[in-house]
Structure 1
């Protein structure tokens, strides 16, 4: 497990009482879908209702295909990015 910094935006932040960040420990190597499962359903279940509409970014790069394997370094930043709206 490696420590990571989770950054929350928009609706994700609202669901956690406007908390903008969390520190978590995640496996060093896993598939994108496994990371989503960990964040949205195991570690921060309050976010499960918005999982399908959110993107994840690792160190400011979007994480794409659910089956891709990713390697996460200690102290990496993972962002939860819900759909952006505005006018």
Structure 2
């Protein structure tokens, strides 16, 4: 069953579009395939620990972000909300659904209710 979505026109000139499952397709060429999640938003719970909680002044919050984005884009969204987080950017690790993810180009697909944790660096003694 196909559902109609917004018309997408890409560089190859494809103009027809349809939604099937989790993918928006405009023709059958590989360059015409887009993820529907890139156009949607999700409400996620962000957990702040240690220094990140100190910098934000909160331990958790629910935010609305694009459903599909890179981990760097996710971090940038958090920095927009809490500019002081930039102080720990190179020191923290993110966990999405309790799985560590590196900060960079790695793509994540978020669903409503997912947890994103800001994990401080581990220190020993």
Corresponding residue of 2:56: 16
**Which 4+ runs in 1 deviate beyond 4 A?**
none
Paired residue for 1:49, among 59, 68, 87?
87
> Does the 8 Å CA contact 2:94/2:103 hold for their aligned counterparts?
no
> Which residue is equivalent to 1:71?
109
Once the 2 structures are TM-superposed, how far is the Cα of residue 86 of structure 1 from its aligned partner? 5.0
Contact between 2:45 and 2:116, CA under 8 Å: does it hold in 1?
yes
SS for the counterpart of 2:43 is strand
- Normalized against structure 2, the TM-score is what? 0.62
Does 2:65 match 1:26? Answer: yes
Give me the TM-score of the superposition, normalised by structure 1: 0.87
For the aligned residues, what is the CA RMSD?
1.4
- The answer for the alignment partner of 1:3 in structure 2 is 43
Higher relative contact order (CA 8 A, sep 6+): 1
- Say which structure is richer in helix: 1
Please tell me whether Structure 1 or Structure 2 has the larger radius of gyration of its CA atoms: 2
Query: C-alpha distance in 1, partners of 2:102/2:87?
Result: 20
Answer yes or no: is the 8 Å Cα contact 2:44–2:112 preserved in 1. Answer: yes
